[in-house]
Structure 1
Amino acid sequence: MRPGYADLILTALRRRPERTAFRFTGDDGTNHTWTYRETADRIESTAAAFGRLGLAPGDGIALLCGPNPQAFTVMAAACLAGLRYTALHPLATADTDRTVLRDSASDYLVVDDTRFASRARPDGTEAITLAELDRLAADTPPGPDDPRGPALYLFYTGGTTGEPKGVMLRDRSLLANAWACSTWAWPSDTRFLITTPMSHAAGLLVAPGLLHGASFELHPSFDPDRVIDAIEHHGVSATFVVPTMLYALLDHPRLPAADLSGLNWVLYGAAPAGPDRLAQAYRLLGPVLSQHYGQAEAPNALTVLDPAEHRDDPTVLGSCGRPMPSVEITLRDLHGREVPAGEPGELCVRGPLVMDGYWNKPEQTAAALEGGWLHTGDVARRDDNGLITIIDRIKDTIITGGFNVYPREVEDTLATHRAVAAVAVYGTPDPHWGEAVTAAVVLHPGQHATPAELMDHVRARKGTLWVPKQLHLVDALPLTALGKIDKKKLRNQP
């Protein structure tokens, strides 16, 4: 059997046995440290414990836990044992958990002790706590009869437009992801802070970090105060944020006076970021920003905008950078024809990073991978310099009076107003226009602007077609469990 994703992880860990892999605070409030050697030992003994539970290659296991290094070691052990691994989002509802467990046909649910009693599961899924699994692993030394096989990681989409789909990522895709992400601008001696669920993008950052000898500090959630403390006092030199988290950090009153000299790298992604806010981040944080773009079907590493390319230029900052190695990208119109530079088209991609398909969904798989390309559903433009800019999701495009309006273009324009802190633009039904451009705007504390003033701002800078027909001033924008703006909830609000 060819070496897989788990073998890459174990090899990286065995190279630097004494180095610190994880720092975290346990449920008892005490601080803990795992070395690379301890982490590797836990992966191998956990894979052996899966065999004690009667699991064989091809069987299914799911994990539900908060920010914890076991979210990584259980995943790696499942990949080593050839199990079908599914991560449940710690902020999802119990109904969503049951849907995913049923769809993934998981034989076991591994769950941390704090969630064990509150999480119902479908018939046929056994449950074991992390503490019980730890005790079993401690009593099960690795041996020649441990289960081994190819990995299958079911990475479930958020399900904001329907029932969640299980994206099938096998060793080929997982290895491609790790190697591609390892080409990013990882600083030397990286101490990387993770404050987002390891069940999603952040979890896939660990393997490439281990290839660079990085250590990871885990926080239970994103708290700007704790992030600043970690940079100033605990040696954190890098972190990953989604745009809403970056904005909260930029707006925090402590930031201007904080000593951020130890911060070398801020990786951001998962949603578009406003160019004006990125320019602000560049001024406050320095040349440390790095953007990555991907999706569940091809995670994390389709394009990158390196720190060296970040500069105070809205065209550059509005882009998601350039294609990653081993990734082929084309922009196509509705008829499948490649569009010229400067024209919008659906971003389509192929390469080893791309998923095998959707679990038990052959029709949706065929549509997503039509013609041998992954059809991302994202509308993008490529300029003459090769920079790619994501304009919007195809499903979010507003068709008003027969014209296409891309919400992000309106959002970026509104964001240039000095009073605007955050904005979301979406379409709402309209009897005359078909859809009306609608905006929800959060103002900076102490700033004032009327809806009419903000509409005039868009008219002057973009044109009448892009002016919102409705503009609501709100205290906050609803967010999904991943920290993205929840436009589905905005559309459904009266």
Structure 2
Amino acid sequence: MNADMMNDEPMAPGLHEQAGYADLILSALRRRPDHIAFRFTDRNGDRAELTYRQTAEQIERIAGVLSSLALPDGGGVALLAGPCPEAFTVMAAACLAGVRYTALHPLATEENDRMVLKDSGTDLLLVADGQFQTRAEAAQTRVMSLSALESACELATAGTGSDFGGQGRALYLFYTGGTTGEPKGVMLRDRSLVANAWACTTWEWPADTTMLLTTPMSHAAGLLVAPGLQRGASFELHRSFDPDRVVDAIENDGVTATFVVPTMLYALLDHPRLSDANLSGLNWMLYGAAPIDPTRLAQAGAVFGPILSQHYGQAEAPNALTVLDTREHTDDPAVLGSCGRAMPGVEVVLFDEQGNETATGVPGELCVRGPLVMDGYWNKPEQTAAALANGWLHTGDVARIDETGLISIVDRIKDTIISGGFNVYPREVEDSLGHHPAVAACAVFGVPDPQWGEAVTAAVVLKTGWSVTPEQLVAHVRSHKGPIWAPKEISILEALPLTALGKVDKKALRGASQT
């Protein structure tokens, strides 16, 4: 047979088909059966552990139960739980069983639950016991507790779930925060989830990682588990973020890595125990999910050492669009104000309002494409078309790219302030305020103004023991950035309002400033 004839032969079915997300997880778990996957406090308040083998068995048993539930056509399952192993194993089991899966945010409201459950077409809500009972009763859908699920698993099979007969296709509805309107269900299938897992394995996971997770596993933290398992990591799970408990976990519980959002990092830096704490065991701190103050980041580098690593993504392309590795955390403010460089397998470009690619250093909307990108928004064709226009995911973030490929997020397009005919990016004003020694945290936003169109407005939290007037802060920004960027009004607050994801809630700040 000559080469031409060989080229005409059809390939064997499935020869180049990508393994599913659940297969990726199970293969990682089977490689290290006796290694600890999770350490946590169980529902009785006792310390507990799950090995890699036990985690794989739990995933397979739950998948068997889910596949036997005879959900109606178009039905799906949702989970309401805090950081616990089931927040991962139920998701992986749904992917294995081919059941559409949605995670409810543990810090969301009953109204948000109802919107998400209705939009996702959820037929069965799985819920952790106790703390979520009231929300479960208000959900207005069929509810099964995790205890009942465990009992069903035990009845279904006494083994590893080997009677579960087949691999499903993942459809994970990953709901956006909904701070600007009704939440949208981002459709993540095997392609996106597998791309996410492989990309995140290229990060600087230290050997023998024990990673502390204290943020909701319904969002970014949950997607760190699969790549961590690929790298042989163990996960310490806390049900909420408490700086005191974080210090204890580093000093006493063998935690060597953690994931934080910027507001959590600031809380750690300001914690009174930190100066005397033994942090030598911590050798990797991954941060992301919101813009970070470069001044505070430089402070973190001085306190924790060269262990900081930043990742940037969004629900529509989670966790792994860019990375700023530990070795790139220099003293250069331009570097510390960036989100690093594009991850392998991700194509990045900036477009202006006319759809033209911007020149080096010129701001534009950051647009990306690659296998990580979502399939679209669940049941929202018009919003999907807008987000994926012209073959690119339009992130809604304004960014600059320098001549070395370093990407700096300037701000969200929707947050850009047009004041006196000039575009003012709040991030630039926040960075300027952050350089003042009295400022612990700040947020900048625009409010309607009859003279300026929008007035640059700021809310500031001061460091303990410091005193400064709003007028002095305005003068500070004016001297560093110029009059266009100087806030017209600054409020001194005890704390900034946060969303359920730990991000500053600018919508609440705007509302408060206009009342």
* TM-score (norm. length: structure 2): 0.94
Answering whether residue 240 of structure 2 is matched by residue 221 of structure 1, we say yes
CA deviation after TM superposition for structure 1 residue 254, in Å: 1.0
SS, match of residue 428 in structure 2: helix
After TM superposition, the structure 1 stretch with the greater mean CA deviation from structure 2, 283-292 or 130-139, is 130-139
For residues 275-319 of structure 1, the C-alpha deviation after alignment (integer angstroms, 9 at most, x for no partner) is: 100100000000000000000000000000000100111100000
Return the alpha-carbon distance in structure 2 between the equivalents of residues 161 and 229 of structure 1. Answer: 37
For residues 187-223 of structure 1, the C-alpha deviation after alignment (integer angstroms, 9 at most, x for no partner) is: 0000000000000000000000000000000001111
Partner of 2:415: 396
Partner of 2:374: 355
Return the alpha-carbon distance in structure 1 between the equivalents of residues 486 and 173 of structure 2. Answer: 41
Answering whether residue 210 of structure 2 is matched by residue 194 of structure 1, we say no
Return the alpha-carbon distance in structure 1 between the equivalents of residues 133 and 139 of structure 2. Answer: 14
Answering whether residue 37 of structure 2 is matched by residue 18 of structure 1, we say no
Pick from 47, 53, 60 the counterpart of residue 69 of structure 2. 53
- Counterpart residue type for residue 246 of structure 2: V
Return the alpha-carbon distance in structure 2 between the equivalents of residues 80 and 282 of structure 1. Answer: 41
Answering whether residue 131 of structure 2 is matched by residue 119 of structure 1, we say no
Return the alpha-carbon distance in structure 2 between the equivalents of residues 22 and 57 of structure 1. Answer: 34
Asked whether the equivalents of residues 56 and 82 of structure 1 are also in contact (C-alpha less than 8 Å), the reply is no
Pick from 138, 145, 156 the counterpart of residue 140 of structure 1. 156
After TM superposition, the structure 1 stretch with the greater mean CA deviation from structure 2, 165-174 or 138-147, is 138-147
Partner of 2:99: 83
- The aligned runs of 1:374-453 (5 Å cut-off) are 374-453=393-472
CA deviation after TM superposition for structure 1 residue 148, in Å: 3.6
Answering whether residue 186 of structure 2 is matched by residue 170 of structure 1, we say no
Answering whether residue 334 of structure 2 is matched by residue 315 of structure 1, we say yes
CA deviation after TM superposition for structure 1 residue 56, in Å: 7.7
Return the alpha-carbon distance in structure 2 between the equivalents of residues 121 and 339 of structure 1. Answer: 49
* TM-score (norm. length: structure 1): 0.98
Q: Percent identity?
A: 68
Asked whether the equivalents of residues 98 and 167 of structure 2 are also in contact (C-alpha less than 8 Å), the reply is yes
Partner of 1:204: 223
After TM superposition, the structure 1 stretch with the greater mean CA deviation from structure 2, 187-196 or 144-153, is 144-153
For residues 330-356 of structure 1, the C-alpha deviation after alignment (integer angstroms, 9 at most, x for no partner) is: 011001101011110000000000000
Return the alpha-carbon distance in structure 2 between the equivalents of residues 56 and 6 of structure 1. Answer: 23
Return the alpha-carbon distance in structure 2 between the equivalents of residues 475 and 313 of structure 1. Answer: 31
Partner of 2:113: 97
Return the alpha-carbon distance in structure 1 between the equivalents of residues 427 and 265 of structure 2. Answer: 18
CA deviation after TM superposition for structure 1 residue 27, in Å: 2.2
CA deviation after TM superposition for structure 1 residue 475, in Å: 0.7
Return the alpha-carbon distance in structure 2 between the equivalents of residues 32 and 72 of structure 1. Answer: 16
After TM superposition, the structure 1 stretch with the greater mean CA deviation from structure 2, 142-151 or 355-364, is 142-151
SS, match of residue 139 in structure 1: helix
CA deviation after TM superposition for structure 1 residue 138, in Å: 1.7
CA deviation after TM superposition for structure 1 residue 59, in Å: 3.5
CA deviation after TM superposition for structure 1 residue 53, in Å: 2.0
Partner of 1:344: 363
Pick from 447, 463, 466 the counterpart of residue 485 of structure 2. 466
For residues 147-174 of structure 1, the C-alpha deviation after alignment (integer angstroms, 9 at most, x for no partner) is: 6421000000011111000000000000
Asked whether the equivalents of residues 74 and 121 of structure 2 are also in contact (C-alpha less than 8 Å), the reply is no
Partner of 2:325: 306
SS, match of residue 465 in structure 1: coil
Return the alpha-carbon distance in structure 2 between the equivalents of residues 12 and 166 of structure 1. Answer: 28
Asked whether the equivalents of residues 440 and 473 of structure 1 are also in contact (C-alpha less than 8 Å), the reply is yes
Partner of 2:82: 66
After TM superposition, the structure 1 stretch with the greater mean CA deviation from structure 2, 38-47 or 251-260, is 251-260
Return the alpha-carbon distance in structure 1 between the equivalents of residues 135 and 120 of structure 2. Answer: 20
Return the alpha-carbon distance in structure 2 between the equivalents of residues 475 and 445 of structure 1. Answer: 10
SS, match of residue 404 in structure 1: strand
Return the alpha-carbon distance in structure 1 between the equivalents of residues 138 and 349 of structure 2. Answer: 42
Q: List gaps (5 residues or longer) in structure 2.
A: 1-13
- Counterpart residue type for residue 436 of structure 1: A
Return the alpha-carbon distance in structure 2 between the equivalents of residues 145 and 449 of structure 1. Answer: 65
Return the alpha-carbon distance in structure 1 between the equivalents of residues 74 and 207 of structure 2. Answer: 38
Return the alpha-carbon distance in structure 2 between the equivalents of residues 182 and 58 of structure 1. Answer: 33
Asked whether the equivalents of residues 399 and 410 of structure 2 are also in contact (C-alpha less than 8 Å), the reply is yes
CA deviation after TM superposition for structure 1 residue 143, in Å: 4.1
Return the alpha-carbon distance in structure 2 between the equivalents of residues 298 and 80 of structure 1. Answer: 21
Return the alpha-carbon distance in structure 1 between the equivalents of residues 129 and 473 of structure 2. Answer: 49
CA deviation after TM superposition for structure 1 residue 140, in Å: 1.6
Partner of 2:57: 41
Asked whether the equivalents of residues 48 and 147 of structure 1 are also in contact (C-alpha less than 8 Å), the reply is no
CA deviation after TM superposition for structure 1 residue 384, in Å: 1.4
For residues 234-265 of structure 1, the C-alpha deviation after alignment (integer angstroms, 9 at most, x for no partner) is: 11000000000000000111111111111110
Asked whether the equivalents of residues 85 and 153 of structure 1 are also in contact (C-alpha less than 8 Å), the reply is yes
Return the alpha-carbon distance in structure 2 between the equivalents of residues 399 and 100 of structure 1. Answer: 33
CA deviation after TM superposition for structure 1 residue 120, in Å: 3.8
